Amino acid sequence: MLVLKILSFAGLILTVIPSFFVFAGIISLEVNKNLMIIGTILWFATSPFWINKEKTNGVQENA
């Protein structure tokens, strides 16, 4: 579970952090787009295994 969580957060980091490198002129926007898609795949491939197990149902389902 811990490994999956680490991979999930790595996915989120890959989704958002490279854009700051684009802002700083370190990488191009195209590289950022590629890193974002890798981050997205990583997040959606790993987070379903733990995220809903930690959510409490009542509040959301009664929304």
Partner 1 sequence: MAKKGIVQTLDSIDEFEREPVPEKSLKGWKSFLGMYAGEHTAGTEFVIGPLFVAHGVTAGDLFLGLFLGNLLAVLSWAFLTAPIATRFRLTLYYMLEKIAGTKVVRIYNFVNALMFCFLAGAMISVSATAIGIPFHLKMPSLNDWLPTTAGWVVTVIIVGMATTFIAMYGYNYVSKFANIAAPWMILVFIAAAIGVLPELGVKSVDSFWGVAKSTIWTGRLMPGQSKFTMWHVMFFAWFCNMAMHIGMADLSILRYAKRWYQGFSSAVGMFIGHFIAWIASGILYALYLVESNFSMEFAPGQIAFRAAGVTGAICVVIAGLTTSNPTLYRAGLAIQSIRPKWKTWRVTLVVGLFTTLAACFPALMMKLLDFVAIYGLLLMPMGAVIFMDVYVIPRLKLKQSYAEFFNRDLNWAALLAWLITLGICMLLNKYYGLEVYFLGLPGWFIASLIYILGSKLSQKKYLMKGV
1 binds partner 1 (CB under 8 A): no
Angle at 40 between CA 49 and CA 59, to 5 degrees: 50
Burial class (CB in 10 A: 0-12, 13-18, 19+), 11: buried
Q: How far is the CB of 2 from partner 1 (least distance, A)?
A: 18
56 binds partner 1 (CB under 8 A): yes
Q: Among 46, 12, 19, 13, which residue's Cα sits nearest to residue 33?
A: 19
> Which C-beta is closer to partner 1: that of 3 or that of 60?
60
Chain contacts with partner 1 (rule: CB under 8 A):
11-12, 15-16, 18-20, 22-23, 25, 29-30, 32-34, 36-37, 39-40, 43-44, 47-48, 51-52, 55-63
